[in-house]
Amino acid sequence: MSSLRPDGGIYGLDYTPDQAKVILIPVPWEPTTSYGRGTARGPAAILRASHQVDLYDLQYGRVWEDGIAMLEVDPDIVRWNAEACAASEPVIAAGGFIENDPELEARVARVNVLSAKLNERITAIARTWLERGRIVGLVGGDHSCPYGTIAAHAERYPGLGILHIDAHADLRNAFEGFTDSHASIFYNVATRLPSVGPIVQVGLRDVCEEELAFIEASRGRLVPFFDPVIGERLCDGEPFNAIADDIIKALPRDVYVSFDIDGLDPSQGPHTGTPVPGGLTFRQVMALLTRLRRSGRRVVGFDLNEVAPGPSFHAGNGTKTLHGDEWDANVGARILYKLIGLSRVTQLETSASASNAAQDRTGKALRSPRV
């Protein structure tokens, strides 16, 4: 467990945003969740669970030492989420069938306006901290949340690739009428952000024909690694690291990681909104991230979404309130720490490699004979 104050910030640390190298943006947002809600409570649950994570990491070492800070939750986002959730509930209850129903159409329009405001706000926040030289990650919230962080990173790192771990392709066009649905984020990224390079999707096992057609029409920009195919390769005796290498080969030098917790086996996040049998194990994800690091690629940013804690309950005589089943948040806090560590280490290593290469070029120039 962390030896620092249990009432401190993320991971028990006391870094302010101005002091920290890593900035986390909490986004309690879930108006378009179409099955089970609760992911808006994810950032707060991960913050609590993070205090039980040991600060020394066996893969990435002293992850914390350059500082990690989670920003305060933006009160506007809390207010927009409440309004958008209230507006979306009748639409979701109707299965998204809104044609010829002016009231439902108005509700969808309002959610879309609020979602656009969220995207603008998150883009601005992420851009501000990137300009200050920070590593920026987002903690959701449903998987529509990180559009703004992806947009900000795409501005700063044109051509970046995205490693997308998820049970779902999230390539639906305006799912249930919501243009910024959690089921539409990578449709939006692919169609709105031309500076984003390949989008490599890992663990997909719940997709529709429309999404498959969109992948096919992308001409290689969308690179799927379907869970049944991964499973078949494993059953044939292929090492997972060989599969991981194939995944990484499809990525460019700069990589943004977008992690939906339902990409894991549901035992690792049972309360997520849309769990699907199958998925990656925790160990396989760790192996994939390790191979990504060893490939020499640079992780420039990340997000973690769809972590939903279990229902809250009371213990004993009701005087002590527990915050629900903490397993989802426990796993989420550890995945988040790994993403922070991977980003920090790969940025340090690629910077050192570039510096060494520059020194080598300078040395060769100094040693070159005069012509």
Q: Which amino acid is at 346?
A: T
Nearest to 279 by CA among 186, 166, 160: 166
Q: What is the mean pLDDT of residues 87-95?
A: 89
| pLDDT value at residue 2 | 37
Q: Range of 74's domain? A: 10-316+324-356
For 59, which DSSP code? T
**What is the pLDDT of the chain when averaged over all its residues?**
90
Q: Is residue 65 part of a domain?
A: yes
Element (H or E) spanning 255, and its range? strand 254-260
> Rounded mean pLDDT of 14-19?
96
Structurally, the chain folds into a number of domains equal to 1
DSSP state string for 279-309: -B-HHHHHHHHHHHHHTT-EEEEEEEE---P
Question: Which DSSP state fits 156?
Answer: H
Q: Write out pLDDT tens, residues 306-340.
A: 999 887 644 444 444 545 578 999 999 999 999 99
d(CA 289, CA 294): 9
Residue 4 lies in a domain: no
Q: Is the pLDDT of residue 1 over 70?
A: no
Q: 293 pLDDT exceeds 70?
A: yes
Task: Judge whether residue 7 has pLDDT over 80.
Answer: no
Instruction: Classify residue 281: in a domain, yes or no.
Output: yes
Question: Does residue 3 register a pLDDT over 60?
Answer: no
Higher pLDDT among residues 139 and 314, named by residue: 139
The answer to the question of residue 223 being in a domain is yes
The answer to whether residue 371 is domain-embedded is: no
Residue 259 lies in a domain: yes
Q: Which residues contact 151 (CB under 8 A, 6 or more apart)?
A: 119, 123, 126, 192, 193
Instruction: Please compute the mean of the pLDDT values over residues 183-196 and round it to a whole number.
Output: 97
pLDDT (average), residues 125-143? 97
Stretch 237-241: mean pLDDT: 98
- Please report the pLDDT score of residue 36 as a whole number: 72
pLDDT of residue 273: 85
Domain of 244, CATH number, reads 3.40.800.10
Query: For position 154, what pLDDT does the model report?
Result: 98
Q: How high is the pLDDT of residue 230?
A: 98
How far is residue 24 from each of residues 15, 161, 214, measured CA to CA in Å? 12, 21, 32
Q: pLDDT of 52-70, one tens digit each?
A: 999 999 999 999 999 999 9
Looking at 7-16, 17-26, 39-48, 290-299, which range is the least confident one?
Answer: 7-16
> For 41-102, where are the E strands, in sequence order?
56-57, 61-62, 68-70
As a whole number of angstroms, the distance between CA 351 and CA 349 comes to 5
Residue 108 has pLDDT above 80, yes or no: yes
Q: Are 173 and 184 in contact (CB under 8 A)?
A: yes
The dihedral sign for the CA sequence 162, 175, 269, 283 = negative
* Residue 193 within a domain: yes
Whether 364 is covered by a domain: the verdict is no
What pLDDT, on the 0 to 100 scale, is given for residue 361? Answer: 60
Phi, psi for residue 313 in degrees, rounded to 5: -150, 170
- The secondary structure of the chain in percent helix, strand, coil, rounded to multiples of 5, reads 50, 15, 35
| Share above pLDDT 90 across residues of the chain, in percent, rounded to a whole number | 79
Measured in whole angstroms, how far is the alpha carbon of residue 359 from the centre of its chain? 36
- Residues near 273 by beta carbon (within 8 Å), at least 6 away in sequence: 30, 33, 34, 35, 36, 37, 38, 39, 142, 182, 262, 306, 308
pLDDT at 352 over 80: no
Is it the case that residue 360 has pLDDT exceeding 80? no
pLDDT value at residue 328: 94
**In this structure, are strands 199-204 and 161-165 parallel, antiparallel, or unpaired?**
parallel
